[in-house]
Amino acid sequence: MIYTVTFNPSVDYIVRLDELEIGGLNRTGDTAKYAGGKGINVSRILSALEVPSTALGFAGGFTGSFIEETLQSQGIHHDFIKVSGDTRINIKLKTGEETEINAAGPMIDTSDIDRLKDQLSSLTPEDHVVFAGSVPSGHDSLYETLAQLLDSKGIEFTIDAEGDKLTSTLKHKPYLIKPNLFELEGITGKKPSTKTEMIEAATELLDFGAKNILLTLGSDGALFINSEHTYYVPSPEGILKNSVGAGDSTVAGFISRKGHPVTEQLKYAIACGSATAFSDDLATRDAIEALLDQIEIQTIEEVK
């Protein structure tokens, strides 16, 4: 079973309007509400691909109930830990360009963390855990702590995080990490400008313990590096509509084909990420499958 962990989920409130008048009255064109959070996004894409998962994390209040009910209506199993505060609401203003207003999440205390540890301790090496997003305030070392717990039990995990939250887990050999170029620069202190330089910088993270690295390059596609393969995957053509959840969709696509050849994992990763970027919400299965034949896996020699 795949388990996704969202420490700080949200209700994403999408507001569309022709223009925003600061200080004036604005009337929306239309609105929508979604269960949000990076791990939840991964579970939603897995569900679209008919790959089961269980969403873990912390949820509270009427907004937490909305998330649980929404996932249940979509056939996504969840086992959130109930907390006393309300799950946050994030506002996404779409006025031609996109503006995000992200709220702070509820306080998470040590007993809540201990309950999450108990959940993860019950898993087996046949399971896979996806960690994604921010950690609760005051728990900066949580990723490292949980990565160590899983490593000690022989359970593979994927992590999609930034800076120290990512690098602190590398010694525990994450199955997949998905930095973008900006994050890679921050981790390595280098500013690679060519794909060869990017690969050299990313290889340092292999040396630190990562098993698979998917370096996302936005509209330029992605580079994949592990101990056996190096590939470049150009992005398919399409119109960018939505940047929210594209990275999470990429992770979900890769994990959805775990156990298959890495080239198939990469096709699904890029198809899922691109399909979400070309959609108003997360990608549907039809949108993903429509892109699969457009995904071209190139060796680095072909890129040169």
Label each residue of the chain as H, E or C.
Answer: CEEEEECCCEEEEEEECCCCCCCCCCCCCEEEEEEECHHHHHHHHHHHCCCCEEEEEEECHHHHHHHHHHHHHCCCEECCEECCCCCEEEEEEECCCEEEECCCCCCCCHHHHHHHHHHHHCCCCCCEEEEECCCCCCCCCHHHHHHHHHHHCCCEEEEECCHHHHHCCHHHCCCEECCEHHHHHHHHCCCCCCHHHHHHHHHHHHHHCCCEEEEECHHHCEEEEECCCEEEECCCCCCCCCCCCHHHHHHHHHHHCCCCCHHHHHHHHHHHHHHHHCCCCCCCHHHHHHHHCCCCCEEHHHHC
Instruction: Just list the catalytic residues.
Output: 248
Q: What pLDDT, on a 0 to 100 scale, did the predictor assign at position 99?
A: 87
| Contact by Cβ (8 Å): 92, 81 | no
* Tokens 């992005």, located at residue: 235
Q: What pLDDT, on a 0 to 100 scale, did the predictor assign at position 303?
A: 56
Q: What pLDDT, on a 0 to 100 scale, did the predictor assign at position 293?
A: 92
Q: What pLDDT, on a 0 to 100 scale, did the predictor assign at position 134?
A: 84
Q: What pLDDT, on a 0 to 100 scale, did the predictor assign at position 130?
A: 97
Structure tokens that stand for 206 in this block: 């292999």
- Structural domains of the chain ordered from first start: 1-21+28-172 (3.40.1190.20), 175-304 (3.40.1190.20)
Whether the model pTM is above 0.85: yes
List Cα–Cα distances, 234 to 86, 192, 261, in angstroms: 41, 18, 19
Q: Which residues of the chain have pLDDT under 50?
A: none
Structure tokens that stand for 35 in this block: 């269960």
Q: What pLDDT, on a 0 to 100 scale, did the predictor assign at position 11?
A: 95
